[in-house]
Chains A and B, each alone.
Chain A
Amino acid sequence: MAFRLKLVPETTNIDFFRWASVTFGGSVLLVIASIILSVIMGLNFGIDFKGGTTIRTESTSPVDVGAYRAAVQPLGLGDVLISQVYDPTFREDQHVAMVRIQAQEGDEAITPEIIGKVETALKGVDPSITFPSVESVGPKVSGELIWTAVLSVLAGVAAICFYIWLRFEWQFAVGAVVALVHDIGLTIGIFSLFQLKFDLTIIAALLTILGYSINDTVVVFDRLRENLIKYKTTPLRDLCNLSVNETLSRTVMTSGTTLMALTALLVFGGDVIRGFVFAMTWGVIVGTYSSVYVAKNVVLILGVKRDWGKKEDGPAGTQFAAGK
């Protein structure tokens, strides 16, 4: 017998419902907490959604946030946020900061004159400063972008829900959607808690999380569907447990490889996409958790029709049989 790395023993017989009040109940509480948190603390919207301008500065001498602020303040541009950026991929003498200017009254995108003034002011503080990127979004577009973003997440959930309903039963669709809401809720929650920048790429990450999480959930559901046909009289609770146990090894393997790839990006991928990668990493973790501890619990609560095949001709558990 050759050596095999096994994260999960050959056969497991874990009762995933044993601590349901803690696991499922805890998830419900966390989602509620996330919603409350994001209502109270709000999200740190990037310029994509709020309008305004960000200027990335780079210099060979260390960043002095105070001096930058003192230089930009007299220009009277309203709210100016200056923050230093740290990253392990930076060179020794690479000092980066982000300057964020709020959307100016009456202007759509910020005018080149204002950007020019800010750049001159900062050059006064540090002559070696350069501006690798300047981005400006007007309030008109940002308002639209936020709607498109909300719409795309809702459309994603709806489309997935519809597909699961076609392929499985409505209880599974509900379970999948609850799991998705859980994942998105917790991701938004953590972005609110740490006030991480929430921009368009985070929406892309959310949609990817949807895809990943449903992927995981579907694998469990697929096994459950198979077991429902195989063991006609076994209680649903045991079948759910059996299905999760049988797919546990795969769940851990896939999450493991995906997390490895994402961790590499998180560490080495640079600060520009860190928020995006962080959202994905977090989403993969909660997505895996939700397919084990949330989705099937909902199915169990709702119950599933057990008299398969009595009236229908097609394979049990499908509204539309998969083409063979």
Chain B
Amino acid sequence: MLQFPLWKRIIILGLCALGLLTALPNAFYTRAERHNDAVTAAEKAGFETPEQEADRALWPDFLPSNVVNLGLDLRGGAHLLAEVQVADVYKARMDGLWPEMRKALADARGEIGGIRRAPSDPSELRIQIEKPEAMAKAVEVANGLASNVVSLTGVGQKDLDITAEGNQLIVRLSEAERAATDDRTMQQSLEIIRRRIDGAGTREPTIQRQGTDRILIQVPGVGSAAELKAWIGTTAQLTFHPVVGRGTDGNAIAKPDTMIVPSIDEDEQGVFYTLDEVPVVTGEDLVDARPEFDQNGRPAVGFRFNPSGARKFGDYTATNVGQLFAIVLDNEVISAPRINQHIPGGSGIITGSFTVESSTNLAVLLRAGALPAKMTFLEERTIGPELGQDSIDAGRVAAIVGTVAVVAFMIASYGLFGVFATVALALNISMMFGILSMIGATLTLPGIAGIVLTVGMAVDANVLIFERIREEMKTAKGPARAIELGYEKAMSAIVDANITTFITALILFFLGSGPVKGFAVTLVIGLVTSVFTAIYVTRLFVTTWFDRKRPKTITV
């Protein structure tokens, strides 16, 4: 009748065993997690410290060790949704284009006369031309500077869009170029954020692009969103400038091509440096920065340039021995040491009033480079670890109480069949945890609610079947036939009921965000496992029991 062939029985029991095995690490969460951390750290470093070895020994290597990721609301941490001001880059492009454009147009001065930059929207370049009648020539010259767009979709298009309006020549980035630029800006921002957060060394950060110009950042274990913002929001623009003069008047008028920059060295409070506006070397030539100590044992930051930066730096130090040289970070002088000798190797050390912590931070910032565009934060959430722990504890108590109540109710209502359903329920829950761990899903607080709800609903399929068997008992010939009919006829209701729930879970998954998505994931997994346990596992129990006992009548 309903008996499964042997191979099916093996598969069913095998899946159950697999579920139990993969769920096992979650029962020893901290142990398994420390084991995993040690393994990853050792893999990354290529060797293993004694502490890592001890941590690794907390969990046997031959067992699966994946555990369920805890979401931010359970572990605590910070969540940010940032919008990248991609248009910032247009301005930078226009500003960068202006000297080149000026030179090209100046070469045609005979025809178009004098030119000057007119005030305009930051995303465009407006050039006023003395002789508007020669506009066609000006457009032609400007077009000469345009090049092809480098992107898949913009093949054959120019990067500049040049129009004329009265006596003004207007240069904009073309649509295709804007799209390509936006994409590059996003890639770059993502990469820099990733490097900055990795540099800070937290576990499992989520850094995802969302839509065209947004970035979602979730970092567990961070004290606050403000701290996270400080990591990623700081633009570290490092430049090295020749020092022209030194004074204490911050309001002095800078001479052409120079700039006045305050010093942030504690020993030099109120000191302002006059610097050559053109830097000798910039942070872009930097390949490495690390916290170090100077010869006096004070914290400092060591750095190294790439070959072109090293050459520029070497040439400059060779010809300017004895001069002051300013190290400028975000328009503030960190320190301005005297060049004592030629520095050929392209590496050096920044000293200043650092603490160990601030030198580490500066090194991280320098390594990560500058963000290409500003970001505004649309959403910020901070969840403290204690609140997360409270939620886990509450969820655990609720899950236990809920399960016990459901189990008692099922056994009281269906006797032995209720026991079968209970065992299936236990398998169901461990399979859920097993799958969640295997796919590396994130468990959120609504996710725990999803599990508790699944417990309630998982018995539904069994209830449908048991009720149906009861009904069939009244009409069918003998218990075997009743069980068979019960399973057969309950199927369509089970399938339809679960597919509709599945549909809503899918919608939750695709339209939801964060915790809601976590809920959808547990709901979907719960549906799959509960249908599996109801129609295969309990059926296996029921048929095996029936075959052994061969009861004349059954009481469901």
**When the two chains form their complex, are residues A250 and B464 in contact, meaning their CB atoms are under 8 A apart?**
yes
Does chain A have a CB within 8 A of B252? no
**When the two chains form their complex, are residues A260 and B402 in contact, meaning their CB atoms are under 8 A apart?**
yes
**When the two chains form their complex, are residues B406 and A261 in contact, meaning their CB atoms are under 8 A apart?**
yes
CA distance A134 to B384 in the complex (A): 9
List residues of chain A with CB within 8 A of the CB of B496. Answer: 167, 218, 221-222
Name A's interface SS: helix
Does chain A have a CB within 8 A of B409? yes
**When the two chains form their complex, are residues A163 and B497 in contact, meaning their CB atoms are under 8 A apart?**
no
**When the two chains form their complex, are residues B449 and A210 in contact, meaning their CB atoms are under 8 A apart?**
no
Does chain B have a CB within 8 A of A241? no
CB distance from A142 to the nearest CB of B (A): 9
**When the two chains form their complex, are residues A138 and B415 in contact, meaning their CB atoms are under 8 A apart?**
no
**When the two chains form their complex, are residues A222 and B507 in contact, meaning their CB atoms are under 8 A apart?**
no
**When the two chains form their complex, are residues A152 and B387 in contact, meaning their CB atoms are under 8 A apart?**
no
List residues of chain B with CB within 8 A of the CB of A59. Answer: none
Given contacts A138-B377, A138-B379, contact A218 B493 (CB under 8 A): yes
**When the two chains form their complex, are residues B409 and A5 in contact, meaning their CB atoms are under 8 A apart?**
yes
**When the two chains form their complex, are residues A322 and B495 in contact, meaning their CB atoms are under 8 A apart?**
yes
**When the two chains form their complex, are residues B515 and A201 in contact, meaning their CB atoms are under 8 A apart?**
yes
**When the two chains form their complex, are residues A246 and B500 in contact, meaning their CB atoms are under 8 A apart?**
no
Write the B520-555 contact mask toward A (1 if CB under 8 angstroms, else 0). Answer: 100100000000000000000000000000000001
List residues of chain B with CB within 8 A of the CB of A269. Answer: 394-395, 398, 448-449, 452
Across the interface, B499 reaches (CB within 8 A) one of A112, A133, A163, A207, namely: A163
List residues of chain A with CB within 8 A of the CB of B512. Answer: 152, 200, 203-204
List residues of chain B with CB within 8 A of the CB of A163. Answer: 499-500, 503
B401 (CB) vs chain A CBs: closest residue: A264
A246 (CB) vs chain B CBs: closest residue: B471
**When the two chains form their complex, are residues A214 and B500 in contact, meaning their CB atoms are under 8 A apart?**
yes
Chain B interface residue count, CB cutoff 8 Å, equals: 78
A-B interface contact total, Cβ < 8 Å: 253
A155 (CB) vs chain B CBs: closest residue: B507
List residues of chain B with CB within 8 A of the CB of A155. Answer: 507, 511
Given contacts A109-B380, A163-B503, A212-B457, contact A260 B406 (CB under 8 A): yes
CA distance A56 to B401 in the complex (A): 27
List residues of chain B with CB within 8 A of the CB of A226. Answer: 489
Which of A1-52 touch B at CB < 8 Å?
1-7, 10
Given contacts A218-B500, A277-B449, contact A133 B387 (CB under 8 A): yes
Across the interface, A250 reaches (CB within 8 A) one of B402, B457, B463, namely: B463
B493 (CB) vs chain A CBs: closest residue: A222
Which of B421-460 touch A at CB < 8 Å?
445-446, 448-449, 452-453, 455-457, 459-460
Q: B residues near A, CB below 8 A?
A: 73, 81, 83, 224-226, 229, 376-384, 386-387, 390-391, 393-395, 397-399, 401-403, 405-406, 409-410, 412-415, 445-446, 448-449, 452-453, 455-457, 459-460, 463-464, 467, 470-471, 489, 492-493, 495-501, 503-505, 507-508, 511-516, 519-520, 523, 555
Q: List 29 A-B contacts (CB under 8 A).
A: A4-B414, A6-B413, A116-B226, A133-B384, A134-B380, A148-B513, A159-B504, A200-B512, A200-B513, A203-B516, A207-B508, A208-B453, A211-B500, A211-B504, A211-B505, A211-B523, A214-B501, A221-B496, A222-B492, A250-B463, A254-B460, A257-B406, A257-B409, A257-B460, A260-B406, A262-B402, A264-B405, A265-B452, A269-B394
